Amino acid sequence: MATKNSYIHLSSINVVVIVVVVISCVNVSQLCYAQDVPIVKGLSWSFYDKSCPDAESIIRKQLKNVFKDDIGQAAGLLRLHFHDCFVQGCDGSVLLDGSASGPSEQGAPPNLSLRARAFEIIDDLQARIQKKCGQVVSCSDITALAARDSVFLSGGPDYPVPLGRRDGLTFATREVTLANLPPSTSNASAILAALATKNLDATDTVALSGGHTIGLSHCASFGNRLYPTQDPVMDQTFAKNLKAICPTNTTNATTVLDIRSPNVFDNKYYVNLMNRQGLFTSDQDLYSYSKTKNIVIDFAVNQTLFFEKFFVAMTKMGQLSVLTGSQGEIRANCSVRNSDNKAYLASVVDEDAERFEEL
């Protein structure tokens, strides 16, 4: 398997090569982690270097503009990538609209709170890339890159993303979506068990949960900790403030996930947990549970360590059940399969007719 940022041993590698590796990493402003990160066959760290070398810069440039107007969209894009990968793999299936075959993943309860603007941003990014390079970059890769840039442009680490994913031809059922997205009311044991089925360990789980350092939540997602009785683990002042925002369990209001730095991607989420100020059961229980408590503490006192482990976990998650090579397709429209896209099919017919005339 291919690897990125392997350990460098002075005794077995030329010093000049070491300098080149270090300088190369610095030039792209990405964290250089001294550890192996395997990638699956079919993906590559430089997949679009020839077919669309400007893909990443196009995405980053546009997202800078988006976040300048509304930094809150960063959390929406990051969550979109999570919800895509965890259900049936990172195949862009969450982007698909419903069809005659049934409702899409977007209609499942865990996805109802995905930001509509996040889908619009992905569509806009795809249009910009297609204008420059044609139909060569998949929607699933655009989603993965948008998630990375959401982290970086919010103050988090900049890290490389293996690319080459293809877009799926199907979307998961409501039942499958529900089964693969543990609710915020889950305890740490349940979260660990769910992610273990995807070969993500305790460190990965705690690191990925750190994505809650940015974003908002509706009252219904944490109301179980306030009503009918307050969770005794919750800090009293924190609980009082939440009750002011959510006077009932069904109040349609929102609050920030991270009370210390709600719009900055940092390690304050873990500091919140240590102060009993985690919003969800699935958050706070990471500090209460013996198998994850020390990881929370490590990340709370060492942001660099959190960033390193977040990169590893995101790279692993971003390769879940990916389609590569000739599998799937490169969608002409991220929300519609090519076989359902009348405009795309018409263009294919026109191209075939032109080729026939040339013959």
Is 87 annotated among the ligand-binding residues?
A: yes
Is 328 annotated among the ligand-binding residues?
A: no
Rounded Cα distance between 168 and 339, Å, is 12
Is 91 annotated among the ligand-binding residues?
A: yes
83 counts as catalytic? yes
Is 213 annotated among the ligand-binding residues?
A: yes
Is 105 annotated among the ligand-binding residues?
A: yes
Nearest to 162 by CA among 5, 309, 306, 27: 5
| Token reading at 101 | 């075959």
Q: Are 122 and 95 in contact (CB under 8 A)?
A: yes
Nearest to 52 by CA among 138, 124, 117: 138
Q: Vertex 183, ends 178 and 187: CA angle to 5°?
A: 135
Rounded Cα distance between 258 and 244, Å, is 17
Catalytic residue chosen out of the listed positions 9, 81, 83, 218: 83
Helices and strands per DSSP (H, E), number in the chain = 14, 2
Is 54 annotated among the ligand-binding residues?
A: no
Is 258 annotated among the ligand-binding residues?
A: yes
Rounded Cα distance between 19 and 15, Å, is 6
**Unique residue bearing structure tokens 């389609």:** 323
Q: Are 293 and 286 in contact (CB under 8 A)?
A: yes
- 3-state SS record for 239-250: HHHHHHHCCCCC
Please provide residue 99's backbone torsions phi and psi, each rounded to the nearest 5 degrees. -145, -175
Angle between helices 73-88 and 55-69 (to 10 degrees): 130
Is 84 annotated among the ligand-binding residues?
A: yes
Is 350 annotated among the ligand-binding residues?
A: no
In the annotated binding site for Ca(2+), the residues are 84, 87, 89, 91, 93, 105, 213, 258, 266
In the annotated binding site for heme b, the residues are 212
In the annotated binding site, the residues are 84, 87, 89, 91, 93, 105, 182, 212-213, 258, 266
In the annotated binding site for substrate, the residues are 182
Catalytic residues: 83
